Amino acid sequence: MRLRPCDGCSLRRIKCDKRSLEMGCLNCETHGVPCTNNRIRKRSGPKRIHRKTRERILGMSKTAKIETEYLSEVPIETNGNTEQSKLSLEDLLPYLQIYQTWYYCVWPVVSIAHLVSKLMTKVDPMYILACSLAAATSTQVSFLSSNKNVTNLPASNKPSVEYANEAKRVRELFGYRENPTPDTLLASFFLYVHYTNQEQGAKQAIMHLRDAISVCQILRLDSMETYQEKYPAETHKLRKIYYTLVVSERYVCFEKGIPIVLKATIPFPSLNDEEYPELLEGFTELIKVFSTPGEDFFDQITNKIHTYDRASQKKWILKIQEKLTGIQMSDQINDTQKLNIVLTQAWLQSLVWLIAKESNLLGSTEQTCLSVSFPLQIAQAYLTRVENIPIFAFESNGPGASHKLLELANCLAYSLLKQPSQAGLDVLQYLFQSISNKMHNKLPMAMYNRIDPLAVHPDVHGDL
């Protein structure tokens, strides 16, 4: 006999995995609420969450049972030792709320309601995760030219490094290496997000990302068998975590030349299992974009070795470009996600074109993607698709957006040296100006300085 959804899942209109009258469902357990079945039977509502319902849930996550006493008033028990926490709930909560409102769509892996409920009971892993998440969110907010879109910033204005240092301090006391869990994995991941955007933080960032990937492998999140005996809600969360690492690792592969370890071998997260499906849709589309080239593409980026013969290499490139060109996305995706998807698509197309150039495959008049002028088409298509997207969306994606945009400009600059055109120079100058406006972000300056003469003084340039 199939049980009807519990009261909590029915109110939120989400899938309930309650299997018996005696046991509660995983959703209620995760959010720390009673799993009851006391309501009078009514007509079921729509599967997708309504705007007002979402606002109600967000309001609950911000206000329900949230006290602002200092966590330091109650000691944290760690391996038999008593240590005081250095950050209060007042310090953490504003950044957790900002994450829920603005950055959950970028990294949809943490339930703030669940995290805060556990913080109230002073659970070490949750405090570590909250500190690392606050560090990452604080860093992202620092890239915004205006904070008018972001409310409830903390009054203390502590630097992001203070949150990161606290996360690292407590996790050493907790012995996180002896107790790998999805939460310790996420703590390492958000420390990666924090340090990858800090000056002199690149090595630490890679170490934290590798740490998260190692925990992922220890937990066997890359194996289909891992998910067979788990509840649907837990399976969904773990898949989101896995693909967050897949996307991040593939970007770092290009940026730092680090070989990839994780493969897109398990099913993508499903919108049907998501608490906020309208926020997850862009994330799943981004996964598809990063998964399109396949592992061979990233191996070539890392090793700079093209192992295919000329005919096979050409066929491989044509196949990837066809897939990337054919990617479509829903109009319902928000601006931050849309910008990331469109820019990532154009960025990957540019990288594939550069591989074609290095393989001496350019010059074909039959295949547009092998023409010398293809980078101009990529850039023009990108600018057309983002012309109505606000600057806030670009800044919300952090320095990575500037890096990808610089690669578009780099690709176009190579093209213009072979086939100069005024239209191409106009687009290059526009891209370069957009990048120059964000010079406070970390950028590969060698590439920037190489393009600068052509973009600023098109009549005077050397070899790229």
pLDDT for the residue 311: 86
**pLDDT tens readout for residues 375-405:** 999 999 999 999 999 888 888 888 888 889 9
72-99 average pLDDT score: 68
pLDDT for the residue 455: 52
219-247 average pLDDT score: 95
CA dihedral in degrees (328, 98, 100, 334; nearest 10)? -20
Residue type, 204: Q
Helix runs in 48-142, H state only? 51-63, 89-98, 112-119, 124-141
Q: CB neighbours of 315 closer than 8 A, spacing ≥ 6?
A: none
Of the pLDDT bands very low, low, confident and very high (cuts 50, 70, 90), residue 7 is confident
Q: Average pLDDT of the chain? A: 82
pLDDT for the residue 61: 44
Q: Give CA–CA dist 371/57, Å, rounded.
A: 51
**pLDDT tens readout for residues 294-318:** 888 888 777 765 556 788 888 999 9
Q: Is residue 319 scored above 60 in pLDDT?
A: yes
Closest CA to 190 of 118, 285, 95: 95
Domain ranges of the chain: 1-47, 51-283, 292-456
Burial of 7 (C-beta count, 10 Å sphere; 0-12/13-18/19+) = middle
**pLDDT tens readout for residues 416-427:** 989 999 999 999
Q: What CATH code is assigned to 1-47?
A: 4.10.240
**pLDDT tens readout for residues 252-307:** 998 888 889 999 999 999 999 998 888 899 999 999 999 998 888 888 777 765 55
Q: Give CA–CA dist 308/441, Å, rounded.
A: 37
Task: Judge whether 424 and 412 are in contact, CB under 8 Å.
Answer: yes
Q: Is residue 45 scored above 60 in pLDDT?
A: no
Of the pLDDT bands very low, low, confident and very high (cuts 50, 70, 90), residue 112 is very high
